[in-house]
Structure 1
Amino acid sequence: MIVFNEDGCIKCGACEGTCPTSAIEVTPDSIIHCDTCGEEPKCADACPNGALKVEEYEIVDGVTQARLVFNSILCDSCGKCEEVCPQETIKVTGEKLKEVEGFCVMCQKCVDICPVDVIGIPGVKEPAACELDLSGKGPVYIADCVGCGTCVEPCPVNAITLEEVGSPVTVNDDCIRCGLCSQTCPWNAIFISEKKPVKRSKEITSFTFDSAKCIGCNTCVEACPGDFITANNSTLTVAIPSVCAACGLCVKMCPVDALEIEIEWGEGNPVDAEGIGRDVEKCDFIGACANKCPTEAIRVVTKTGMCCPALEETDLEPSFASCIRCGACASMCSNDALKVEQYEITIGDEPVVRDRISFNPSKCDQCGDCIEACPYDMLHKTENPKLPIAGFCTLCGQCIEACPEDALCYK
């Protein structure tokens, strides 16, 4: 059977695109695939007509694996295979000669195309191990960047710079740790606040090659980090893939503009999209939320010119700022006094898990590294020995209860 090392998967979708029976689905946070039920496929057992059968297939000399074979003539589209499929990959299409899809035929096309070799076959080709240790890497960690620049445009504060195509990007101090770059990167090269991202969905809507422009330099072949592009030496041209990681590096490196690619991206999920939400229309800048927050994780300038919770007069315009639990502080804390934890809250009667910041004052030496790392200028030292550092959000919800305008809620 085919196995995946999801920890090392870059969610490029090449395996899904090359699978002839649609037995693989790559989602932003998982890979759903036919695993032949551990070589005892339930779909074959359930098929009343023998349209789906198990066959022993020799992968290499002396090594056989179970695979599924389909006989369209025997299929009456009854749907029993779809009902019993534990992975829910089997689908009844009704299409002639392809009445059923979603079963693995062990063609190994997914194994061959994977650019990071995380797809394999036990006993034949083990999937590549991925030992990614992000601890101690800080708020922004860049590793093995190929210089495609895909992360540059999504950055909402223009904090990422690509000086030269093919060279690693740089991130400046304007970074707000939103995580969109990490979610967008096709090659798992950038990480924010020591978190492994859930990738944005993407679809290549157009990928074209103009052979009349091509000069046979093979720059695109050499530039492709996943070896998706192959050279046609006999014609001094190249062959572009139908599916790839969609980084566009080949397009940017081509000296004669012979390649063009168009990509449709799914929505990103910045770190402030989940947690405490504020209805801007309802907010009247009263400051009750800031005064109620036990960790001073909210700062409000009221319409009367008062800065809360400090209760100091100011001539600043009314404003609202809060900790969004990006985790930059925790990634810089060398004593584990600050940590990002999973916390269950209820939204619309449904339990959901969100990140929150926890703090252990006994471990804090007040070094100030977390304060410098905070991109929202929320963290600060206090005179309270029980809370020497304040400004982090624990998702306690007291601000929601305190707001008289119902402008705050969990999201």
Structure 2
Amino acid sequence: MIVFNEDGCIKCGACEGTCPTSAIEVTPSSIIHCDTCGGEPKCADACPNGALKVEMYEIAEGIEQARLVFNSILCDSCGKCAEVCPQETIEVTGAKLKEVEGFCVMCQKCVDICPVDVIGIPGVCEPKEVEIDLKGKGPVYIQDCVGCGTCVEPCPVNAITLEEVGSPITVNDDCIRCGLCSQTCPWNAIYISEKIPVKRTKEINSFTFDSAKCIGCNTCVEACPGDFIAANNASLTVAIPSVCAACGLCVKLCPVDALEIDVEWGEGAPVDAEGIGWDSEKCEFIGACANKCPTEAIRVVTKTGMLCPALEETDAEPSFTSCIRCGACASVCSNDALSVGTIEIEIDGEPVTRDRIEFNPSKCDACGDCIEACPYDMLHKSDNPKLPIAGFCTLCGQCMEACPENALCYK
């Protein structure tokens, strides 16, 4: 049985791409794969014609594993195997010789190709244990950055700098903790506000190598963090993989431009994509939402020049600003007075879970670290002894109830 340590997975998709029977699906949040039902595959039991069978396979000396074998001649594409598959990996394709896909044949190709060794076989090669402890690491934490620069372009505020390809990135104070860099990083090297990200999807449209340009320097071989590229010493060239982490480091470092890669990225999910949605076209900037918010997590400049909820006159243009629950404040709170929790809300009749900021005033010593960490300048000290720090969103929804124009909603 193939096993995965998902905590250490970088979601590169190499295992999915190399699997000959399409028994692995890597999603941004999980890995779905055929586990042969613990050695007793339900698909084989359900097959009326014996097209799918269980075979004991000696994978190492003295160690046998159950694997599935398929006989195309016996398959009538009835679909009963797909109906009983608990992992839902089996699919009836109807294609000749491959009428059914999604079952594990224990070929071990996924184990061999994994760049971070988190795929294994119990008793034969255990998956690498990777523990990601982000506690106390702060709003921006960078570890083992390979300097590929993949995160630089997605940053909406140009806060990331790559001085030299192959050297670690730096993140400046303009960072708004949106998390797009963390979602994009192919090597799990950057974390925002102590959160493990849901990765963006990606697809390699093309990865090409021009052997006529190659000078056999092996720069790409040595630079590849996942050892995907192999040297071909006989011809002084290299062999590039069909699937990899798609960081592009090899392309950037190749001195003769012999490599090219085209990667199509899926949409990212910045931290403000979920929570409270604000419709600027509906908003009349009257400030009712800011005045109603129990934690002063909304700041509105009205059309009459009033700053709410402070009720101070200002020359600033009408505007709406709110806490987006990025979690930067919680990541620097040494007393755990601020934390990121979850709440279940309803959107279009369906229950969904969203992040919220939780605050325990009894633990707060008003040190102000959270105020400095807030990228949106929302947090501030309060005169209320029961609320020494204000400006964080608990996702209570009172702002939406107060808005007469329905400019606010859950999203």
Q: TM-score, normalising length from structure 1?
A: 1.00
What do the CA deviations read for 1:16-63 (whole angstroms, capped 9, x no partner)?
000000000000000000000001000000000000000000111111
Cα distance in 1 for partners of 2:290, 2:15 equals: 49
Write out the 4+ residue segments of structure 1 that deviate beyond 3 Å after TM superposition.
none
Cα distance in 2 for partners of 1:37, 1:281 equals: 53
What do the CA deviations read for 1:230-277 (whole angstroms, capped 9, x no partner)?
000010000000000000000000000000000000000000000000
Cα distance in 2 for partners of 1:246, 1:286 equals: 48
What stretches of structure 2 of length at least 5 have no aligned partner? Answer: none
- The residue aligned with 2:105 is 105
- The residue aligned with 1:24 is 24
Letter in 2 for 1:104: C
- The residue aligned with 1:355 is 355
Match of 1:227, SS state, is coil
Cα distance in 1 for partners of 2:284, 2:210 equals: 58
How far 1:383 sits from its partner (Å)?
1.0
Letter in 1 for 2:136: G
Cα distance in 1 for partners of 2:346, 2:75 equals: 46
Root mean square deviation, CA, Å: 0.4
1:94 aligned onto 2:94: yes
Match of 1:182, SS state, is helix
Cα distance in 1 for partners of 2:275, 2:49 equals: 52
Cα distance in 1 for partners of 2:137, 2:143 equals: 10
- The residue aligned with 1:337 is 337
Match of 1:281, SS state, is coil
Match of 2:92, SS state, is strand
User: What does residue range 9-408 of structure 1 map to in structure 2 within 5 Å?
Assistant: 9-408=9-408
Q: How many residue pairs were aligned?
A: 411
Match of 2:55, SS state, is strand
Letter in 1 for 2:326: C
Match of 2:56, SS state, is strand
Cα distance in 2 for partners of 1:281, 1:203 equals: 36
What do the CA deviations read for 1:267-294 (whole angstroms, capped 9, x no partner)?
0000000000011110111100000000
What do the CA deviations read for 1:100-156 (whole angstroms, capped 9, x no partner)?
000000000000000000000001011000111000000000000000000000000
How far 1:217 sits from its partner (Å)?
0.1
Cα distance in 2 for partners of 1:132, 1:15 equals: 22
How far 1:381 sits from its partner (Å)?
0.2
Match of 2:153, SS state, is coil
What do the CA deviations read for 1:75-114 (whole angstroms, capped 9, x no partner)?
0000000000000000000000000000000000000000
Cα distance in 2 for partners of 1:302, 1:21 equals: 61
Letter in 1 for 2:39: E
What do the CA deviations read for 1:155-190 (whole angstroms, capped 9, x no partner)?
000000000000000000000000000000000000
Letter in 2 for 1:251: V
Letter in 2 for 1:114: C
Q: TM-score, normalising length from structure 2?
A: 1.00
Letter in 2 for 1:366: A
Cα distance in 1 for partners of 2:234, 2:95 equals: 39
Letter in 1 for 2:392: F
Match of 2:289, SS state, is helix
Cα distance in 1 for partners of 2:225, 2:285 equals: 50
Cα distance in 1 for partners of 2:112, 2:280 equals: 51
Cα distance in 2 for partners of 1:283, 1:121 equals: 57
Match of 1:257, SS state, is coil
Letter in 1 for 2:239: A
Cα distance in 2 for partners of 1:230, 1:286 equals: 63
What stretches of structure 1 of length at least 5 have no aligned partner? Answer: none
Letter in 2 for 1:194: E
Cα distance in 1 for partners of 2:16, 2:342 equals: 31
